[in-house]
Amino acid sequence: MMNHNEMLLLKLGEVVLKGLNRRSFEDRLVNNVRRRLKNCGSFQICVRQSTIYVEPKTDTCDMEAAFAACQQVFGVAAVARAVPCEKTVAAIVETAKTYLGGEFAGAKTFKVESRRADKTFPMTSIQLSQAVGGELAEAFPAVAVDVHAPSLTVHVEIREKYAYVHAPAVPGAGGLPVGMGGRAVSLLSGGLDSPVSSWMMARRGVELEMVHFVSPPYTSQQAQDKVLELARLLTPYCGRMIVHIVPFTEIQEEIRKNCPEEYFTLIMRRFMMRLAQGVAKKAGAKALITGESLGQVASQTMAALGVTEDVVSLPVLRPLIGMDKVEIICISREIGTYETSILPYEDCCTVFTPRHPATRPDLDAVREAESALDVDALVEKALSGENWVRVKA
């Protein structure tokens, strides 16, 4: 189905509802598309009437790669391949015959759906659909017309300069353009949940920075590489990003030496939140993102979440809070992080797991247990040992 003057039409999603701010959303989306297509060749990209037009400037553009890439840009509701032609019935029919010949070969029924963005065009949408449909029915006698449930819909759009003929669109990533929702720091472990929660917040337009905690020698280089790979798998959706790697061994050893075992995980998570907030302040981020889901493990009961959140002032976003494991796994498969997430390397959450964790902790008791530690000094030291990696697709 390749054609030398083939182009892509990107339909805007939620951006269309944005009223007075709409222009800034559209500009951001066009920039995100442009950046995403850099590796596919040189394209002319512009937005008109809720559609982004992506036209290759040269014959060397990789249209297959561009088509796939546009489906991963948040803010795009649907992506269609199209061919421009003259605004006459004859030209439209000819284009449909050559461009969609392969589709007709596999179809049992078809219909034509027309849209007229150019209201000066002399025919109504219905008249145009009937004229084009009539000629295509003659050209492909084996394919019957069915306006209710056709196996192929031929789309015709009449715009200012050209008519466009395109096959059915495929769904885009939806959501809002990354960068419109501010910036947040996501706590990225090696598990299934945190890549999914990161993806979900990026889909709401949030630009991400990641923070990951390492505890050598208890955690391996492979565990760290696995997390960097998860971040890399998210970049087609989220754009390139920084992963902050924070040393956590000393904090865990101090907790193990000085605190009651049933509070290990909770106190550890309180430190993670403090450190993530420290990273967020430096990065100019306005929220923290976690992969917590209510009741999934002992440290994710309602009381435990309250204890964890007690130490930060930034909002904590938990997009998975009402989801079950099956739903989370389903998304991780869809976005391509599942296979990496299930690799069996230990992360620092699993190294010091208490045998009987407190599921209904009392905040004052946890604060009391934690007071055995020099919290500020431990946080400061860990943050000073932070290094970061820039991850790109």
| Burial category of 205 from C-beta neighbours within 10 Å (exposed 0-12, middle 13-18, buried 19 and up) | buried
* Tokens read off for 155: 């789309």
CA–CA gap between residue 204 and residue 202 (Å, rounded):
5
Would you say 8 and 82 are in contact if contact means Cβ atoms under 8 Å apart? yes
116: Cα within 13 Å, side-chain hemisphere: 14
Percent residues over pLDDT 70 in the chain:
98
How many residues are present in the chain?
393
Instruction: Report pLDDT for 7.
Output: 96
**78-114 residue pLDDT tens:** 999 999 999 999 999 999 999 999 999 999 999 999 9
User: Minimal CA–CA distance to 233: which of 324, 340, 133, 131?
Assistant: 340
Instruction: Report pLDDT for 298.
Output: 84
**119-174 residue pLDDT tens:** 999 999 999 999 999 999 999 999 999 999 999 999 999 988 899 999 889 999 99
Q: Is the pLDDT of residue 2 over 50?
A: no
Return the bridge partners of 166, or none: 82, 155
CA–CA gap between residue 68 and residue 393 (Å, rounded):
14
User: Minimal CA–CA distance to 189: which of 267, 310, 272?
Assistant: 272
Percent residues over pLDDT 90 in the chain:
89
Instruction: Report pLDDT for 393.
Output: 80
Q: Is the entire prediction scored with pTM above 0.85?
A: yes
Region of 198 on the Ramachandran plot (φ > 0 left; ψ -120 to 50 alpha; else beta): alpha
Q: Is the pLDDT of residue 183 over 90?
A: yes
**263-298 residue pLDDT tens:** 999 999 999 999 999 999 999 999 999 999 999 988
CA–CA gap between residue 280 and residue 274 (Å, rounded):
10
Instruction: Report pLDDT for 19.
Output: 81
**335-380 residue pLDDT tens:** 999 999 999 887 766 667 888 999 899 999 999 999 999 999 999 9
Instruction: Name the architecture of domain 183-391.
Output: 3-Layer(aba) Sandwich (3.40)
The Cα-based distances of 21 to 17, 26, 180, 224 in angstroms read 9, 9, 10, 40
Does 7-171 carry CATH code 2.40.50.220?
no
Average pLDDT over residues 238-262: 96
Instruction: Report pLDDT for 349.
Output: 63
What are the domain boundaries of the chain?
Answer: 7-171, 183-391
Q: Is 342 helix (H, G, I), strand (E, B) or coil?
A: coil
CA–CA gap between residue 75 and residue 344 (Å, rounded):
35
CA–CA gap between residue 316 and residue 318 (Å, rounded):
6
Q: Is the pLDDT of residue 3 over 90?
A: no
Region of 49 on the Ramachandran plot (φ > 0 left; ψ -120 to 50 alpha; else beta): left
Instruction: Report pLDDT for 4.
Output: 58
